[in-house]
Amino acid sequence: MMFTKSEIQKGMKVRGNDGHVLGRIIELKEDEFIVEKGLIRHHDFAVSMADVVEVLHGEVVLNHGRDSLFSAPREVPPVHH
């Protein structure tokens, strides 16, 4: 399934390929976006646009699950909103 980068916007939920919500987009960059994960202890992760499978029902679906969120994307310093 094809998607355009313009479909990916701040505030969208991000789901893994296992269906679990991984977090939401808090910042967009040129070829990646920052996902905020966790309600109590915040961890922000940079996810490559290349990891996106599709944009479905206003949510971004990645080609990996939540387990690999900690290995594939890199953790970034918290973004101050």
* Local confidence band at 77 (pLDDT 50, 70, 90 cut-offs): low
Which residues, 6 or more positions from 18, have their beta carbon under 8 angstroms from its beta carbon?
65, 66
pLDDT at 71 over 80: no
pLDDT at 41: 72
In a domain, 2, yes or no: no
pLDDT at 8 over 90: yes
pLDDT at 1: 54
In a domain, 81, yes or no: no
Residue-averaged pLDDT of the chain? 84
The count of structural domains within the chain is 1
In a domain, 64, yes or no: yes
In a domain, 28, yes or no: yes
In a domain, 71, yes or no: yes
Instruction: Answer positive or negative: Cα dihedral of 74, 75, 76, 81.
Output: positive
73, with CB counted inside 10 A (0-12, 13-18, 19+), is buried
Whether the CB-CB separation of 25 and 72 falls below 8 Å is answered with no
In a domain, 57, yes or no: yes
In a domain, 45, yes or no: yes
What is the arithmetic mean of pLDDT over 41-49? 84
The range of the structural domain enclosing residue 17 comes to 8-75
pTM here? 0.78
Whether the CB-CB separation of 23 and 36 falls below 8 Å is answered with yes
When comparing pLDDT for 43 and 14, which is higher?
A: 14
The CATH number of the domain holding residue 57 is: 2.30.30.240
